[in-house]
Structure 1
Amino acid sequence: MQERRRHLLCCGGAAAAGLFSALSSAARAGNLINPCRGALPAQLREHPLMQRCWQGIDATQLWDVHAHLLGTGDSGSGCRIDARMTQWWHPMESVRRKVILAGACVPADAPSVDKAYLQRLQQLAADFPPGARWMLYAFDEALDEKSCPRPEWTSFHVPDRYAAAVAAAIPQRFAWVCSVHPYREDALARLDAAIQAGAVALKWLPSSMNIDLRDARLRPFYDRLAQARLPLIIHCGEEKAVPGAGRSELGNPLLARLPLSHGVRVIMAHCASLGDALDLDQARPRLVSAFSLFDRLMDEPAWKDLLLGDVSALFQFNRRPEVWQTVLKRQDWHARLLHGSDYPLPGVGPLYRLGGLVRAGLLAEADRSPLERLREHNPLLFDLALKRVVRWQGQALLPQVFATRRHFASVA
């Protein structure tokens, strides 16, 4: 137990060090604070960049498959955040909360964090054509191997009932994604209830929630997902924003082979594009990039109709150029790649550095200024436009990456 505490302290310290490094660098660059400007001015709305953004896209098929709901429960939502995020004697966690809420334009003096967060999200959505929707994530609490809740591992919690209620109230803009920890004794009953309530997918963050995809207890869960054709969205690779249980080894992309073998459609968040993982296929496993393992799985014929990846967060500054290049040039993957924003992270200033994309040869210098101005008004539109204009050796993300609704037709 003492060794585990040291491990968690080490992981937390490393993550916080990375966050503070990003904040410091962004402060020098002048892009630390999200200005939270209002609706798009006509100059931006009619800019040629926006015309290029929407060319070839049917907004009614555009579902953002990776958007977070957050709150403190001050409206009766049942949401909560780790208490350490509000305690001055935990400065690293306190900064994490402030940065994320600033990215979502939630004022420090907001009467209700729950309501302010949702109001801003609705304002951003209003700049999109009718039909565009966001899949809002519930997020279950972390449990240990004995099915006991572990609040100290739970960075934040968003109940299924809240996500379902938000989507039901504004169905023209929102769908919802359930989150049921499979170690719960009533996990299958909760999953069935979520399916009945209209959930379009299930979300797990294994390293944060303490979920081992190889655990035998998950097999009936996988069978139920496959039967219902409910996609499983899992975060693989390194996790920085939500440290939770700190079980980084559970984010290994190769562990997804078990749900895939049960016929579950798996959407690997961010294409496992950050950090390293053990290559468990080798007699002597060694650390390789998690993205290289995602690459391997995508090319395994058995999973051709089951494994997908979402491209949320893919063009943040902390991804390797070879990730950007590979995703753009592997156009044979594009029918299996899905647009997602990872909202509210597009509003977090330190995470996107367009100069790096220009230097890497992916972004034209002429597009940099309008993108930066767009981000000041609408980080969601910025995220979409950025993905539409990046190029590598003339190759771009194909329009089918943004026709995501079809992947959820069987459950929507």
Structure 2
Amino acid sequence: MSQPGEIVLDKLTKSFGAIKAVDSVDQVIEGGSYCCMIGLSGCGKSTLLRMIAGHETPTSGRILIGGRDVTTMRTGERGTALMFQDYALFPHLNLTDNVAFSLKIHGVGKAERRDRAIEMLHRVQLGNLADRMPSELSGGQRQRVALARALITNPQVLLLDEPLSALDEFLRLKMRVELKRLQDDLGITFIHVTHTQPEAIALADKVIVMDHGVIEQAAHPRVIYDQPHSPYIARFMGGQNVIVGQVAEAHADRVIAQAADGALFDLAPNSAVTVGDPIRFAVRRDKIRVVSETHQPMNSLQGSVVNVEYQGTFVKVGVNTAQDDEFIVYMDDRTYFDNPLSVGDAVISEWSTENVCHLLGTNNSTGD
């Protein structure tokens, strides 16, 4: 039996002429969960969100919400609410009337809709500003009003289209906490489209990574970050280096790969590969050591420092190696400043076998 707010996407497709913006997507989003959809611009995430909301009509496939087929239902009948990226508040109405507007459309009496609107404003911590106009608010306050207006109809599902993109970094971080608190408090399904990887990882119970209209991977954020299914996901999510080589040895207990420059890599066993196969694997950037010389016969790359960026809790070091992609290392800030590096320094990056993740896909997209 379906949970309230559970969303089932069944072979969902949306075409614009010859272009498939969403291509036969199958996915279940659990009721009461916080789901973030992420991917490059044009990957299909916003189109998918708009189909769930009823603002786009699928070319084929079905959408079920709470066990009901809503594919052809009107927007107001689906049990969903969509919070727009620009908030779309009415400038001539105060906060109470903005929040109560949809209740007015549904014929709710003036006294009741005002009471419910003020209650919802208190829920988003704006009850003391109920008579203010939108022009008198900060960006974060306007976002809370938009949230209250979306939630006033008690939807099963709240859909958010890049809701934090218009805010500065300080407000983004603050509102991220507020969104998660509100979702935990309400217990309804949130589907949040974002282009910011840390936002998706921080908020979601499930992250859906899209590319070219299909879902590349859908899982808990820790799985997405630690066990990317493809080079695209590893690069796009930003926590991994992708290394390219060829299988030199394949044993029951280990695989040895070799890069074009002769570097050797000791990998975990993988029954899907044989000698001579091309292979791509990933290494987490924060699990790599930078040394001046190594005694490891495998799992190291020689290179030179091309960029250093202090990030507060760590230092991001870019290293030029024989690999096609720039190699990134996240160094503990104390370790780095004990022996700081300069652009042009010759270094060796090394890691342990247990920090290697086999990649199954061959998508070469780099992300941004």
TM-score after normalising by structure 2: 0.31
Q: Flag the structure with higher strand content.
A: 2
Which structure is higher in helix share?
1
The TM-score normalised by the length of structure 1 is 0.29
